[in-house]
Amino acid sequence: MAGNWPRSVIVVGAGIVGLSTAWFLQERGVQVDVIDRGGVAAGASWGNAGWIAPGLAIPLNEPAVLRYGLRSLLDPAAPLHVPATVDPGLWAFLARFAANSRWRSWTRAARANLPLNDECVEAYEALAADGVPAAVVAAPITAAFGTPRQAESLLRELRRLESAGQRVEHTVLDGGRLHEQVPLAGDALGAGVRIEGQRYVDPGAFVHALGRAVMRRGATVYAVEVAEVRTDDRKVIVRSAKGTVLSADAVVLATGAWLPRLARQWGVRVPVRAGRGYSFTVPVDHPVPGPLYLPGVRVACTPYQGGLRVAGTMEFRDPDAPGVPARLDAIIASARPLLRGVRWEERTDVWVGSRPVTPDGRPVIGATAAPTVYVAGGHGMWGLTHGPITGRLLAEQITTGKRPAALAEFDPLR
């Protein structure tokens, strides 16, 4: 490394986190190449709901989620599902998740997220202003409930976020205002909470545009699977399963739910498991002015290419396992009674993908036991929201040798 900082970096992972890191490294004059076994946006960066939602970036490890998870543990139709399995790694992960599902750990994660939430929209604006031609749409996210009493559950969460330091501007809606502002809302929905100041994107289009911008700046994207990452006295060497060998001054591992396969050898002991989600697109008969959240069934709906992208479920299963049709059916069965004018039988773009979840609600971002190997992952459901700001902060650490204060709680070696 010349001048004590890397002049070249290999980024493993071409999702929103890896490509954002590549882009911000290029901003700092670093030569970057990117490797991903499926190419750009092949994983969770394509099929998610597309929300840039700092106001709803609520850590998963809250006690209510644990109680709900225990009640629905083996129910294949439940929004949170753990299939019957003998996988000891999964059960060890769930035990650690349970140990962290208390308010003290939740509050620590919520406070750790504050700097990411504060700067995530600005990081997107930086990308859009400097060569990523994909729309970032400002719109509130409306959470809809059957009754005002049910809406109180979200209002309590927002109050807890505020006590942790995250003020979320929001407006409570009665049934009349909800139906006026959300034409898709059915008669079963009678109350709402509108979260102000949020954004959304077409996630696949945005990440592909980001990938093209990174390539225009000189990066090569290799669509191969990494088999080995090793270091010597001067370089990091990355070898693919097909024999491609690349070397650079440093490497960033940003492989989402597959992160442990490469990161474990570098001292990263925080487990990362696949919390798989499903999505699809349906045509609608009414306007979709902005994202809609159905917390009671944990389903997210977003305007998407003239229709509606519907996303939901959290399924702890191997990231490479095939999709389970029953999970898709469960999303439709739960959302159908709540919405009107949705042509469910005409769905397209059916997708399943893996969100990387940690047991303590905090991602892993930063240096590993090897000074030239970095990791970025474990953002759970908020990888799209926090991807660009993660890339900006990690690029700062790599090129200065100083960890930004915002990354202290995300130490991969914790």
Q: Say which CATH number the domain at 9 has.
A: 3.50.50.60
Q: What percent of the chain has pLDDT over 90?
A: 86
Count: domains in the chain:
1
What the block records as the tokens of 209 is 């545009």
Question: Looking at 23-27, 29-33, 42-46, 335-339, which range is the least confident one?
Answer: 42-46
Q: Quick one: pLDDT at residue 132?
A: 93
- End-to-end C-alpha distance for the chain, whole angstroms: 27
Q: Quick one: pLDDT at residue 63?
A: 86
Mean pLDDT, rounded, of the chain: 94
pLDDT for residue 127 is more than 60 = yes
> Residues 292-300: what's their mean pLDDT?
96
Q: Quick one: pLDDT at residue 70?
A: 59
Tens of pLDDT along 325-376? 989 999 999 999 999 999 999 999 999 999 999 999 999 999 999 999 999 9
Amino acid at 359: P
Residue 337 neighbours by CB distance under 10 Å: 13
| Angstrom distance (rounded) from CA 21 to CA 33 | 11
Q: Quick one: pLDDT at residue 5?
A: 85
DSSP letter (8 states) at residue 74: T
Q: Quick one: pLDDT at residue 68?
A: 62
Question: By the 8 A CB rule, do 414 and 361 touch?
Answer: no
Q: Quick one: pLDDT at residue 3?
A: 57
Q: Quick one: pLDDT at residue 76?
A: 66
Amino acid at 130: D
Question: In degrees to the nearest 10, what's the CA dihedral of 171, 386, 87, 351?
Answer: 80
Q: Which residues pair with residue 81 across a beta bridge?
A: 315
Tens of pLDDT along 132-146? 999 999 999 999 999
Q: Quick one: pLDDT at residue 73?
A: 59
Containing domain of residue 142, as a range?
2-410
Q: Which residues pair with residue 292 across a beta bridge?
A: 142, 301
| Angstrom distance (rounded) from CA 335 to CA 358 | 28
> Residues 318-323: what's their mean pLDDT?
91
pLDDT for residue 387 is more than 60 = yes
Question: By the 8 A CB rule, do 294 and 307 touch?
Answer: no
> Residues 295-321: what's their mean pLDDT?
94
Q: Quick one: pLDDT at residue 117?
A: 98
| Greater pLDDT, 234 or 77 | 234
> Residues 24-51: what's their mean pLDDT?
94
Q: Quick one: pLDDT at residue 2?
A: 47
Q: Quick one: pLDDT at residue 69?
A: 62
DSSP letter (8 states) at residue 266: G
What the block records as the tokens of 74 is 């083996």
Return the beta strands (E) in 55-105 as ranges.
Answer: 80-81
> Residues 67-71: what's their mean pLDDT?
62
